[in-house]
Copies of this chain bind each other. A is one copy, B any other.
Amino acid sequence: MDNAIRSKSNPIMRPIDITPSIPGMEIECLLNPGVFQFENKKWLLLRVAERPVQEPGKISFPIFNAEGFVEVLSFNEDDQDLDASDARIIKYKGKDYLTTLSHLRLVCSDDGEKFYEPEGYKPIIGKGILESFGIEDCRVATRADGFHLTYTMVSPYAVAVGYIFTKDWKSIERKGMMFPPHNKDCALFEESINGKYYALHRPSSPELGGNYIWIAESPDGLHWGNHKLLATTRKGMWDSARLGAGAAPIRTEKGWLEIYHGATEEHRYCLGLLLLDLDDPSIVVARSNKPIMEPIAKYEQEGFFGNVVFTNGHIVDGDKVSMYYGASDEVICKADFSIAELLKTLEN
């Protein structure tokens, strides 16, 4: 048992519920949506991972070419130079490719459980050489001036954090790379603290260091500095190999409450809590020893990449957090938490 109250409708969205972005592609996975409210509806910004319909004996995967069009690379399954042992990555002649190409898709809902694709909204697709392997895991921070999107830019050159701003979801403003590689899991705070923007982010080190959560500050949301280490991995625990922020921290009277993911060396992904000082969020007030949510439902244990619960979006209504999450890197689910109960798990 954990602290999550899972929706009885889980999974609330599956790959079959969405149409591929172009003919000849199939949707392998729906992943980790950004979440927001807009025009009296609840919205998800889904990560949609597609690949070409596979032919027998072949392994095919998509990339954006220099002109911005999807191009399919295809190899024989028994090619000696091919290593397809990981469901997510293909290695060919020492180079890494992704098995799927991700873009972002908008769906909306009246009740927060039955989502549909509304007319008149375009998907958000990778653009330029730094997004030629797609864009992934977009957080949506709702601030007074509009929606601030932070997402993972993926290419052969870098895995890094991109930034998009929109007011109306009809036109978007691309604001470039916010954090240089290797970086992902960037969650913006939805209000300024002492006049500064804050962001949680997750740089990774090839040597000396690891996959830790850091915090940075900014005068304008575009330029970032004064990076501080917030939380490291913990040997032998549920967050021993890597951890990263989820959605925007939630303001509570005890501090900023952040639901984050942690994973073990075996790639088992759970969720836990960080509580940050209200006035100076670089100070960690408390941290979960045990996860608040573990992959225990069948749809969380079996799928494209099993034993994963991963979140980067929620809606807060009073004491209730309605959290949307990716399960087994394949389907979208929903679970509710009580903020009071979450805070209680952090006592001691």
Chain A interfacial positions (CB closer than 8 Å to B): 96, 129-130, 133, 154-160, 175-183, 201, 203-210, 212, 214, 216-220, 222-229, 232
Q: Which of B160, B179, B220, B232 interacts with A219 by CB under 8 Å?
A: B220
Nearest CB in chain B to that of A159: its residue: B208
CB of B177 within 8 A of CB of A227, answer yes
Nearest CB in chain B to that of A89: its residue: B207
> What are 14 sample pairs from A and B whose C-beta atoms fall under 8 A apart?
A133-B208, A158-B229, A159-B205, A176-B228, A180-B201, A180-B216, A181-B203, A181-B204, A204-B205, A206-B206, A218-B223, A219-B219, A222-B226, A223-B223
- Contacts A219-B219, A219-B220 known; A209 to B181 CB distance under 8 Å? yes
CB of B228 within 8 A of CB of A177, answer yes
A129 proximity list for chain B (CB < 8 A): 229
- Contacts A158-B208, A209-B158 known; A180 to B219 CB distance under 8 Å? no
Q: Which of B157, B158, B183, B206 interacts with A180 by CB under 8 Å?
A: B183
CB distance from A37 to the nearest CB of B (A): 28
CB of A182 within 8 A of CB of B158, answer no
CB distance from A58 to the nearest CB of B (A): 23
- Per the bound structure, the CA–CA distance linking A214 and B158 in Å amounts to 11
- Per the bound structure, the CA–CA distance linking A177 and B225 in Å amounts to 7
- Per the bound structure, the CA–CA distance linking A219 and B204 in Å amounts to 26
A179 proximity list for chain B (CB < 8 A): 180, 227
A178 proximity list for chain B (CB < 8 A): 225, 227
CB of B158 within 8 A of CB of A226, answer no
What is the total number of copies of this protein in its complex? 2
CB of B209 within 8 A of CB of A156, answer yes
CB distance from A128 to the nearest CB of B (A): 10
A210 proximity list for chain B (CB < 8 A): 157
CB of B203 within 8 A of CB of A180, answer yes
- Contacts A159-B205, A181-B203 known; A225 to B227 CB distance under 8 Å? no
CB of A224 within 8 A of CB of B227, answer no
CB distance from A195 to the nearest CB of B (A): 13
- Per the bound structure, the CA–CA distance linking A208 and B155 in Å amounts to 7
- Per the bound structure, the CA–CA distance linking A176 and B155 in Å amounts to 30
- Per the bound structure, the CA–CA distance linking A175 and B306 in Å amounts to 44
Given contact pairs A157-B210, A176-B228, A218-B225, enumerate 10 new A-B contacts (beta carbons under 8 Å): A154-B208, A157-B212, A157-B229, A177-B226, A178-B225, A180-B180, A181-B209, A182-B208, A182-B209, A223-B225
Nearest CB in chain B to that of A196: its residue: B223
- Per the bound structure, the CA–CA distance linking A69 and B82 in Å amounts to 51
- Per the bound structure, the CA–CA distance linking A275 and B118 in Å amounts to 49
A208 proximity list for chain B (CB < 8 A): 96, 133, 154-159, 182
- Per the bound structure, the CA–CA distance linking A226 and B224 in Å amounts to 10
A133 proximity list for chain B (CB < 8 A): 208
- Per the bound structure, the CA–CA distance linking A183 and B207 in Å amounts to 11
Nearest CB in chain B to that of A130: its residue: B229
CB of A207 within 8 A of CB of B182, answer yes
Nearest CB in chain B to that of A95: its residue: B208
CB distance from A200 to the nearest CB of B (A): 12
A130 proximity list for chain B (CB < 8 A): 229
A212 proximity list for chain B (CB < 8 A): 157-158
